[in-house]
């Protein structure tokens, strides 16, 4: 027996759009990290559509830069804590907390 006849066939929907509309749909789907079919299906079925604040690759670049800044920050803090400079400790802790919060927000956005 033919393998194709054993597979369950699903109905197909065709949708006509302009070149501009297709470009926009592809752009949004790519930003969401989805294929056009998955994105269109979620829109048509009124599922909650999450529109990212920025493209995935931009978020990844920001997270990478924040990690680099954090590494530099830790090196500075290590020098300060070793007695290199006195009196800056609380200011660096506040900056560290702020950087951590920004990183957590971006990571949660990337993961969403």
pTM above 0.85, yes or no: no
Residues in the chain: 112
Give dist(CA 16, CA 47) in Å, integer. Answer: 21
Domain spans in the chain, listed from the N-terminal domain onward = 3-44, 56-111
For residue range 23-51, what is the model confidence (pLDDT) as tens digits? 998 988 888 888 988 888 888 887 665 66
As given in the structure block, the two tokens for residue 3 are: 């393998």
What value does the mean pLDDT of the chain take?
Answer: 77
Q: Work out the pLDDT band at 111, boundaries 50, 70, 90.
A: low
- pLDDT above 50 (res 1): no
CATH of domain 3-44: 1.10.1220
Contact (CB, 8 A) for 17 and 25: yes
């Amino acid at each position: 027996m033919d393998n194709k006849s054993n597979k369950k066939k699903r109905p197909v929907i065709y949708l006509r759009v302009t070149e501009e509309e297709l470009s926009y749909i592809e752009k949004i789907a790519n930003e969401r990290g989805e294929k056009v079919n998955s994105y269109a299906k979620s829109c048509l079925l009124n599922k909650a559509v999450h529109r990212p604040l920025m493209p995935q690759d931009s978020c990844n670049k920001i997270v990478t830069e924040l990690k680099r800044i954090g590494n530099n920050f830790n090196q500075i803090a290590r020098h300060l804590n070793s007695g290199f400079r006195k009196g800056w400790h609380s200011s660096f802790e506040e900056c560290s907390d702020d950087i951590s919060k920004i990183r957590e927000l971006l990571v949660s956005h990337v993961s969403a």
